[in-house]
Amino acid sequence: MNQLKKLLIIGFVWPEPNSSAAGGRMMQLISIFKQNGFEITFASPALDSDFMVDLSQFEVQKKSIELNNSSFDDFIIELNPDVVLFDRFMIEEQFGWRVSENCPKAIKLLDTEDLHCLRTARQKAFKENRDFELNDLLSEEVAKREIASILRCDLSFIISQFEMKILNDVFKIDPSLLHYLPFLVDEMSENDLVKLPSFEERKNFVFIGNFLHEPNWNTVQYLKETIWPLIKKQFPEAVLEVYGAYPSQKVLQLHQPKNGFFIMGRATDANEIVKNSRVVLAPIRFGAGLKGKLLEAMQCGTPSVTTTIGSEAMHENLPWNGFITDDIQEFATKAISLYEDKNLWKESQKNGITIVNECFQKSKYSDALIERINSLLNDSESHRLHNFMGSLLQHHTLKSTKYMAKWIEAKNKN
């Protein structure tokens, strides 16, 4: 297909690559589509933010849209995209039926970001002080919505192999509806490490994460109350700097300089901060997807200590760029070892490069993605014919969601 293809991305928020891994992920997708000749429009019902990326710099058209408003129908009919990408299932719920009704031939893609039902079920199990089990997912309300959204779309991007397995084994989703697509970054070499600050030039432990994301807030609490006192006891001069966008008053209250625990707020340049830190601490206790902060640490040549959940689906059993442990005492001991032992630190740094190249190299995944989308563009009818559950859901959702949205729109006018 040689003509310029039109892609409409409908975003949950405007991309903020410096605030969250989700923003970085979106810019990676935009880059791949741009490189493959797509004309891109990015639309969102979200309010503009001070930290959103300037889409015009990437030759992407920006369009503000409204929820439950038929003005979207006029907009999409005029745009007439070949492909529509929904950013998270909640956006597909709101706009999917309008896309299907007004542009029935458009290929519908869903970027799940992570499985929200997995994150929610794990968080619930954690708060109830019990072990998470895969069967918990089957009773999770959000799972019903999320799986329905995946079934209604032609293809869903899944960021984690663990989540691919859940979708196949627990929810019995046909593999033809799923496409594994991790974070996508450039290849690294050991020469890249030479350009980075050395062991001696770096100082302090660091944690970085968007505080609107509950697992990050929980991690900082856990660090402050449980892990940091253990590190401080063995290593009195230790300093931890905690960075993150959108810190609440609760987060700011944890700032305790006399104890070496600093809440630094939003990072103006996360990359620079991680590059100049010696060790990343990420004792993450629940969540889903992949952890952008840990991939960023590898790219910055900064070893990390994390948990099983933190490292999940990130390293294909390759040696970690530091340590993985769920034991708090071991976590503290390993963090100090990494901080003080230059040889261990350098070996961990090299492990990070291997993981980046083996698991996240852009060239390894981008061509396969475009091939899959072109295949759908060439033969969407056959693909949809074999997705009976999707068409069944499409049929009923179109009616129920459509009339609920029209009722809300009529109500808003009164």
- Which pTM value belongs to this model? 0.93
Q: What is the 3-state secondary structure (H, E, C) of 122-170?
A: HHHHHHCCCCCCHHHHHHCHHHHHHHHHHHHCCEEEECCHHHHHHHHHC
Contacts (Cβ under 8 Å, ≥6 apart) of 204? 239, 240, 241, 277, 278
pLDDT of residue 311 exceeding 60: yes
Tokens 């594994």 label which residue? Answer: 180
pLDDT of residue 325 exceeding 60: yes
Last residue of a domain, one of 359, 377, 398: 359
Whether residues 160 and 198 fall in one domain: no
pLDDT of residue 1 exceeding 50: no
Mean pLDDT of the chain: 94
Last residue of a domain, one of 359, 378, 405: 359
Whether residues 105 and 237 fall in one domain: no
Last residue of a domain, one of 324, 343, 359: 359
Whether residues 91 and 199 fall in one domain: no
Domain that holds residue 12: 5-184+362-413
CB 182 within 8 A of CB 361: no
Whether residues 368 and 342 fall in one domain: no
Beta bridge partners of 240: 205, 261
Whether residues 20 and 81 fall in one domain: yes
Specify the number of domains making up the chain.
Answer: 2
Whether residues 351 and 374 fall in one domain: no
pLDDT band at 397 (very low <50, low <70, confident <90, very high): low
Whether residues 71 and 60 fall in one domain: yes
Whether residues 142 and 14 fall in one domain: yes
pLDDT of residue 390 exceeding 90: no
Q: For the ranges 241-245, 290-294, 404-408, which has the lowest average pLDDT?
A: 404-408
Q: What is the pLDDT of residues 242-270, one digit of tens each?
A: 999 999 999 999 999 999 999 999 998 99
Whether residues 337 and 405 fall in one domain: no
pLDDT of residue 2 exceeding 60: no
Whether residues 9 and 146 fall in one domain: yes
Whether residues 141 and 218 fall in one domain: no
Give percent above pLDDT 70 in the chain: 97
Q: What is the pLDDT of residues 326-378, one digit of tens each?
A: 999 999 999 999 999 999 999 999 999 999 999 999 999 999 999 999 999 99
CATH number, position 16: 3.40.50.2000
pLDDT at 409: 80
